[in-house]
Structure 1
Amino acid sequence: MVDGQRMTIADDVRTNGATPNPWWANAVVYQIYPRSFQDSNGDGFGDIQGIISRLDYLAGLGVDVLWLSPVYVSPQVDNGYDIADYQNIDPRFGTMDDMDELLREAHKRGLKIVMDLVVNHTSDEHAWFRASRDKNDEHADWYWWRPARKGHEPGTPGAEPNKWGSYFGGSAWTYDQKRGEYYLHQYSAKQPDLNWENPKVRKAIYKMMNWWMDRGIDGFRMDVIAEISKRVDSNGKLPGEQGGHIPDLPANHGYSTPFLACTDGPRLDEFLREMRHAVFDGREGYMTVGEAPGIRLKRDGYITDPVHGELDMMFLFNHVLFDCKNYDTWTPVPFKVDGLRKIMAKEQKVVSKAGWASLYFSNHDQPRALSRWGDDSEAMRVKSAKALGLLLHMHRGTPYIYEGEELGMTNAHFTQLEQYRDIQSLNIYKERVDEQHRVSPEEMMDVLAKRSRDNARTPMQWDGGKYAGFTAADASVEPWIAVNPNHDVINAEAEVGDPDSVYSFYKRLIELRHTNAVVAAGDWKLVDAHDEHVYAFTRSLGGEKLLVAVNCSGQTVPIPRQAAKLLASSGKLDEGRLLISVTGSLPVNGQLGPWEGFVYYV
């Protein structure tokens, strides 16, 4: 384990990838939520020119890939995840010329651009859907259109084809008076599901994807891609349709969930292989990652195994649902490190031999991990942010950083319903408080402050001035959503030059992914699997081994038995063997202080 040997392996990481890994396995991805990243024209809405103006910041951080949430033409009912035109930029974000400039400028800096791809559904304002409202149009079966239930008057209560509920509240079916039928939407009524059983739909989607790839993007993050294949019978009917069987799933005040019938359907593998062949065969330097709610762990290993030619990575949900009672986002339970550890260990194991993991704690659909699992108090915020970052980035896989995570941004802690913009949050409040009277307004506001997606969507905190530098201080229009009041303390301007900041710590984590082969490609093994406070594991490659131990609590605790034994086996503790730590130094007296963590060669 001499330095010369370590450098040889590290050089291999940068030049060839940590063999046999592809480039994206040694990369770090940064997610940009465009409407909240940087407003360049003072309209209170982030845009593409704003992203361009911050490329040097992103290149300086050291990330490799920028994943952009949707910037396509959209009514913005679900903040752009309701697309009305896949091949045009929404004027709120700029123009196609702006997009081309972003590609050029990002590529100049060695940054790749991955676009969000939303093809489980479109907006109801998309030309395809508008045409499908005519039964005689060639697009008539591009969506899941169904007649009213037999014996019921169309458009009346109980006439829906089956009793599925939308994930955003209410029925998953909406009656269209022009067509005289219902259409399926797992999400908002403004987001009708595409019928992937129709080969013409798939062909049109692949054509659009090729158009973007030819334009110069570097891949796609695919929204709820695990839901594109539905379970239909030999007659093409969905479960529960016309009185048929509905899967035995928990009822939600009269509705059942479409989860089992619409997730990981029987043709998913076929569709993903067909997509790769139609879009990516013959191309190099791209990456694909699919959002996969409900995918079983063993399926992650199968779908991301390159032998099967489907996706490079998938976003799993198990580890962001363990603190939700009965998998209900709006019924949180206290964080316990054992819950996170058990699921993360399973996610690591399933891709240990083939396939690859995507590593994330935060994104645009999750509250800030620092506020959710850590401690965002003034006294512990920095240590806690570093500890969670260390824990995630030392796992085997490709890390994803959500904008502001590298600064230690926190939940917004909104106190009034009027401050929220998220359709899911507003709908769940209306459903559970106003309609069902399940909880009090005060209880629901407390839950929203903990779990609303808007917690991740407040403007990026660039400086301590008015509007946090997201938009001009003298802008006549306020940001589309309120800036977090703590931006005077938590902001990029204050952190970039501070060697002890969360930003500087993340920059070091990214550097290690690029330069240390053990971090990039080493095997992962859990140690001290049942410790109440410390999450510990090893990474090993080519005779080198790293011990990672993170205290995920606010109290001082002893280093667990197995981890302590590994430390002792390497002899007297030596600062030269310390790779990185939250405090910048080795643990003292065999103990870890609150939110203390380290990585050490053993």
Structure 2
Amino acid sequence: MGSTDDWWRTAVIYQVYPRSFADSDGDGFGDLPGIAARLDHLADLGVDALWLSPFYPSPQADAGYDVADYRSVDPLFGTLADFDTLVARAKELGLRVIVDLVPNHSSDEHSWFRAAVAGGPGHPMRDRYVFRDGLASGEPPTGWESVFGGSAWTRITEPDGSPGQWYLHLFDVRQPDFNWDHPAVRAEFDDVLRFWLDRGVDGFRVDVAHGLVKQLDVDWAHGSSGPVVYKPDAEAPPMWDQESVHDIYREWRSVVDSYGPDRILVAEAWVEPPERLARYVRPDEMHQAFNFEYLLAPWNADALRPLIERSLAAAGAVGAPTTWVLSNHDVVRHASRLAFPPGEEPRTGIGVDDPQPDAELGLRRARAATLLMLALPGAAYLYQGEELGLPEHTTLPDDVRQDPTWSRSSFTARGRDGCRVPVPWRSDAPAYGFSPTGASWLPQPAEYGDLAPDRQRGVDGSTLELYRTALHVRRDRGLGLGSLTIVDPLVGPVLVARNGSTLIMANTGADAVRLPDGAWPLLSSGPIGPGGTVPPDTTVWASL
């Protein structure tokens, strides 16, 4: 299946959200030793690598995506020695390690930003961030809005106590944006890349990869959240997907390549359509870019069919794989998201007084959607716990929510806490095995106990066994390196495709359909009916 240098073209990579994966010391927060102790689970599952969300020193205003020091480990998660131990254990198990890099913004507790504020107007450190004078009316420099709600500008108080300049934060007020036109910022991140590459990491998932460069002279009052969708004659937002951002990634690619051809860069770029996203994975830039348009697509064959073809064509045109994903730490888990009618799928946050998902329907569709995704050529990402069929925590009490989206939206958008709840490991243990003391930084729903691995391992038909089998068959049949052809019917509720000698049939409709003559089932997301009939919300892999 290709050389080890291009492992990333077909890899299945498992996202670990450190604070919610496994707690070794009982404080209720997951940590690096806890992750290291659970790596056997990932190796047994059959993934190729893990991606670690941020574990750096941080005041945790945005769950670690507000970084105060890019070259260390927050004591909440352990030490640099713990990180080295985790990497060594991963290598023993044949797993590669990708770490999160957060280059759009830092924490307001970063030494640079603290010096910028303390130094007063004109201090050289202010040039490393985006400080501007406000309007004569006392308003912010522009009408830009934060992704988390409210203005994207905050005014500081100067050292002499007077109202001062404004700084840009496209996210939380405690996440000031860097100025990527400053050479010191570029040099700093080149060095950060080398620091972690020297410690043996295999690559970087780049947070907000489409946002580093801004047109600050362009006002914009249309909001700044959601994917950047390019439409004919539409005005492009000045804070996202600017052309010169690609110059940065060409520099980074040269740094990464200097450590060998098997180290990678992964773009978190919320950009549509696929042709625009493919610009991030040109041969001299990044290796992968998450296909978020696919993540957001409804469970509908007529929507999925053209999107899959267009995604493969766009990435293929620049010699890159398509990188598929269905869940992550920023969106409603797909076992719950797909339980809603088309057009009503929630993207972030479900609360106790919101319409609730149909758990049985959601899991059935999630299993089918996953089996379709894993049959597609290219790479794929899994989010921790999805192999257990974990749903969103949709009845999480509002008074325990920690996502800054909740407060910055004036308590109207519940945010991302529901998909970040600690995962279960043992059905009969405190915190379902997440923590030895039963402590948990967010409460787990009761249904997580029944979904713990000890309830599923070795159980025929369980979601865990479905994932294990799918990853084995995917590798055995070379689906990641294959070539996909959509076959009849070209419209309608059933998606039928061929990947080499494997037939894929995904029934998104309301009626059962029959497998083609001569197709022998290999794996199904749910029971197959008499005579090879595929029930609604079911995907089947078959041998031709």
In the superposition, the TM-score normalised over structure 2's length comes to 0.88
Q: Does 1:168 align with 2:148?
A: yes
Find the aligned partners of 1:77 and 1:172 in 2 and give their Cα distance.
Answer: 16
1:178 aligns with 2:155: no
Q: Residue 405 of structure 1 aligns with which residue?
A: 386
Cα distance in 1, alignment partners of residues 464 and 380 from structure 2:
15
The offset of 1:416, in angstroms, is 3.3
Alignment partner of 1:521 out of 474, 478, 481: 481
1:546 corresponds to: 502
Structure 2 match to 1:115? 99
Residue-by-residue CA offset, 1:438-488 (whole Å, 9 max, x unaligned): xxxxxx7xxx4xxx422211111112133111112x44xx31101121022
Alpha-carbon distance in 2 for matches of 1:407, 1:597: 18
Partner Cα separation in structure 1 for residue 78 and residue 292 of structure 2: 33
Q: Please name the residue that 2:540 is paired with.
A: 598
What is aligned with 2:232?
Answer: none
- Confirm whether residue 497 of structure 1 aligns to residue 458 of structure 2: yes
Secondary structure of the equivalent of 2:50? strand
Rounded to whole Å, the distance in 1 between the matches of 2:88 and 2:396 is 42
| Cα deviation digits, residues 200-242 of structure 1 (max 9, x gap) | 11011111110110111111000011111212xxxxx5212xx
| 8 Å contact from structure 1 (residues 459, 484) kept in 2 | no
3-state SS in 2 of match to 1:160: coil
Q: CA deviation at 1:531?
A: 4.4
Greater CA drift, 502-511 or 530-539: 530-539
- The 5 A counterparts of 1:204-215 are 204-215=188-199
What letter is aligned with 1:287?
I
Contact 2:388/2:453 (8 A) holds in 1: yes
Whether 2:63 is the aligned partner of 1:65: answer: no
Find the aligned partners of 1:250 and 1:47 in 2 and give their Cα distance: 35
Q: Which moved more, 1:292-301 or 1:199-208?
A: 292-301
CA contact under 8 A between 2:147 and 2:224: conserved in structure 1? Answer: no
Cα deviations across residues 260-307 of structure 1 (Å, max 9, x unaligned)?
11111121111110111234334242121110013542133233132x
Rounded to whole Å, the distance in 2 between the matches of 1:42 and 1:208 is 31
Q: Which structure has more helix as a fraction of its residues?
A: 1
Q: Which residue in 1 is equivalent to 2:351?
A: none
User: Which residue, 511, 520, 523 being the options, matches 2:472?
Assistant: 511
Instruction: Decide whether the 8 Å contact of 1:27 with 1:513 is kept in 2.
Output: no
Q: Could you say which residue in structure 2 is the equivalent of 1:346?
A: 310
Aligned to 2:422: 459
> For residues 529 and 266 of structure 1, do their structure 2 counterparts lie closer, same or farther at Cα, with a shift above 3 Å needed?
farther
* 1:167-224 deviations in Å (ceiling 9; x for gaps): 1111000011127211111001111111111111101111111011011111100001
Q: Is the 8 A contact 2:14 2:381 kept in 1?
A: yes
Gaps of 5+ in 1: 1-12, 154-158, 232-236, 241-245, 253-257, 324-334, 433-443
Give the equivalent residue in structure 2 for 1:10.
none
> SS at 2:312's partner residue?
helix
Kept in 1, the 8 Å contact 2:292–2:325? The answer is no
1:35 — aligned with what?
19
**Alignment of structure 1 residues 142-161 onto 2, 5 Å:** 142-149=128-135, 151-153=136-138, 159-161=139-141
Q: Is the 8 A contact 1:112 1:218 kept in 2?
A: yes
Quick check: 1:488 aligned with 2:449?
Answer: yes
Classify 1:388/1:45 alpha carbon distance in 2 versus 1 (closer, same or farther; 3 Å).
Answer: same
> Which of 284, 294, 298 is matched with 2:271 structurally?
294
What displacement does 1:535 show?
2.8
Say which SS state the counterpart of residue 483 (structure 1) adopts: coil
Give the AA of the match of 1:16: S
Paired residue total: 512
Match of 1:557 among 482, 501, 512: 512
Could you say if the C-alpha distance between residues 488 and 265 of structure 1 is closer, same or farther in structure 2, counting changes exceeding 3 Å? same
Q: Percent identity?
A: 32
Following TM superposition, by how much is the alpha carbon of 1:337 offset from its aligned partner in structure 2, in angstroms? 4.4
Kindly indicate whether the alpha-carbon contact (under 8 Å) linking 2:49 and 2:98 is maintained by their aligned counterparts in 1. yes
CA distance in 1 between partners of 2:489 and 2:30 (Å): 43
CA distance in 2, matches of 1:272, 1:379: 43
C-alpha displacement at 1:57, in angstroms?
Answer: 1.3
CA contact under 8 A between 1:305 and 1:356: conserved in structure 2? no
Shift of 1:321: 3.8
Q: Conserved in 2, the CA contact under 8 Å of 1:357 and 1:397?
A: yes
Counterpart secondary structure, 1:193: coil
- Cα distance change on mapping 1:57 and 1:532 into 2, 3 Å: same
Answer whether contact 2:335 2:359 (CA < 8 A) is retained. no
CA distance in 1, matches of 2:28, 2:301: 39
| Counterpart in the other structure of 1:79 | 63
CA contact (8 A) 1:45 1:480 kept: yes
Counterpart in 2 of 1:310? 285
Q: What SS is found at the alignment partner of 1:141? A: helix
**SS in structure 2 of the partner of residue 105 of structure 1:** helix
How far apart are 1:318 and its partner, in Å? 2.0
- Residue 597 of structure 1: CA displacement? 1.9
Aligned AA for 1:166?
A: S
- Which of 204, 210, 217 aligns to 1:238? It is 217
Separation (CA, whole Å) in 2 of partners of 1:374 and 1:528: 27
Corresponding residue number in structure 1 for 2:399: 418
Q: Is the 8 A contact 1:303 1:355 kept in 2?
A: no
* SS of 2:484 mapped into structure 1: strand
Q: 1:495 to 1:590 in 2, by over 3 A?
A: closer
| CA contact 1:527–1:537 (8 Å) conserved in 2 | yes
- Write out aligned runs for 1:436-447 (5 A): none
Aligned to 2:171, what secondary structure does the other structure show? coil
Aligned residues of 1:145 and 1:181 also touching (Cα < 8 A): yes
Distance in 2, Cα, partners of 1:189 & 1:222:
21
Give the match for residue 322 of structure 2: 357
Q: CA deviation at 1:381?
A: 6.1
2 CA distance for matches of 1:391 and 1:425?
Answer: 33
The amino acid that maps onto 2:398 is: L
Counterpart in 1 of 2:497? Answer: 537
**What SS does structure 2 have at the residue aligned with 1:63?**
coil
Work out the CA distance in 2 between the residues paired with 1:512 and 1:416.
41
Larger displacement relative to structure 2 (277-286 or 164-173): 277-286
Partner of 2:294: helix, strand, or coil?
Answer: helix
In structure 1, C-alpha distance between the alignment counterparts of 2:236 and 2:174, rounded to whole Å: 19
Whole-angstrom distance in 2 between the partners of 1:349 and 1:487: 39
216-225 or 503-512, which deviates more: 503-512
